[in-house]
């Protein structure tokens, strides 16, 4: 963490380690977020510190509007905080130029958005293969990996469908497959099973737990499902702009 330089720090990495290292995957310090609405300033996050270790599973619960998605976007580098810092594998995310920041995100993080954000003009297979294509994998390799993970989430038969031709739950599973395909160090999932029946949700979580066990993938999952939250290493909640351990 002592090296918040402007280049991506890969010094902790060793060989073909699939993006895993020993320093915290994500460390957020003093995160504040103020939304300005006309004359009104709404302070949604009031100084949040959060460290996510390699292999850690964290659930974030909390009332609607409490700032869960806002926090996820900031620790995932999708939105800037009003103040505070985020380090991804020791790299100061907000000191990097956009291109380097995108590279770091693509390499270390998988993101499942609250609203799936699949690209409408591409098939499920192409959507899932996208993170691998962006990082420069050959199309045949990316497609094979995408098909394999689509099969795991039960979508092999839908791989050539575009999002508009899929159900809400199928889209959500495709988005989950996309977040996992590049074997990220940490998956940030914002209500990933909100549209799924309990059996399908359990299937998705068992895939996540397998990855956690086999590859030490860290997970931060926003959920309203306390049954699931209790299975994670830590349960956090956001209340009055602050993070609390439950």
Ligand X SMILES: Nc1ncnc2c1ncn2[C@@H]1O[C@H](COP(=O)(O)OP(=O)(O)OP(=O)(O)O)[C@@H](O)[C@H]1O
Binding site for Mg ion (CB under 5 A): 69, 114
Q: Does 80 bind ligand X (CB under 6 A)?
A: no
Tell me whether residue 138 or residue 239 sits nearer to Mg ion (CB atom): 239
Q: Does 115 bind ligand X (CB under 6 A)?
A: no
> x/- binding map, residues 141-160, to ligand X, per CB under 6 A?
--------------------
Give the position of tokens 């505070």.
84
Q: Does 66 bind ligand X (CB under 6 A)?
A: yes
**Whole-number Cα distances in Å, 190 to 21, 162, 193:** 24, 22, 9
Stretch that binds ligand X, among 20-28, 57-65, 119-127, 168-176 (CB under 6 A): 57-65
H-assigned helices in 3-138: 68-75, 98-108, 124-134
Q: Which two tokens stand for residue 147?
A: 């098909």
Stretch that binds ligand X, among 12-20, 58-66, 115-123, 158-166 (CB under 6 A): 58-66
Q: How far is CA 31 from the centre of its chain?
A: 18
Q: Does 37 bind ligand X (CB under 6 A)?
A: yes
Neighbour-count burial of 197, counting CB atoms closer than 10 A to its CB (0-12 exposed, 13-18 middle, 19+ buried): exposed
Q: Which residues bind ligand X (CB under 6 A)?
A: 35, 37, 42, 44, 62, 64-70, 114
């Amino acid at each position: 963490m002592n090296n918040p330089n402007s280049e991506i720090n890969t010094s902790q990495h060793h060989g073909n380690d699939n993006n895993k290292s020993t320093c915290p995957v994500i460390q957020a310090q003093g995160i504040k977020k103020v939304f300005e609405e006309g004359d009104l300033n709404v302070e949604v996050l009031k100084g949040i510190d959060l460290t996510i270790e390699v292999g850690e599973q964290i659930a974030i619960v909390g009332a609607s509007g409490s700032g869960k998605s806002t926090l996820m976007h900031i620790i995932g580098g999708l939105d800037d905080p009003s103040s505070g810092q985020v380090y991804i594998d020791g790299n100061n995310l907000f000191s990097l130029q956009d291109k380097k920041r995108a590279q770091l995100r693509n390499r270390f993080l998988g993101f499942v958005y609250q609203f799936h954000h699949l690209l409408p003009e591409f098939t499920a297979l192409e959507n899932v293969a996208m993170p691998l294509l962006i990082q420069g994998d050959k199309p045949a390799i990316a497609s094979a990996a995408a098909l394999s993970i689509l099969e795991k989430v039960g979508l092999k038969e839908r791989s050539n469908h575009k999002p508009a031709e899929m159900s809400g739950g199928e889209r959500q599973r495709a988005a989950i497959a996309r977040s996992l395909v590049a074997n990220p160090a940490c998956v940030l999932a914002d209500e990933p099973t909100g549209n799924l029946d309990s059996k399908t949700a359990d299937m998705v979580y068992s895939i996540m737990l397998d990855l956690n066990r086999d590859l030490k993938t860290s997970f931060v999952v926003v959920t309203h499902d306390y049954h699931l939250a209790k299975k994670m290493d830590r349960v956090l909640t956001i209340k009055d702009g602050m993070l609390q351990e439950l």
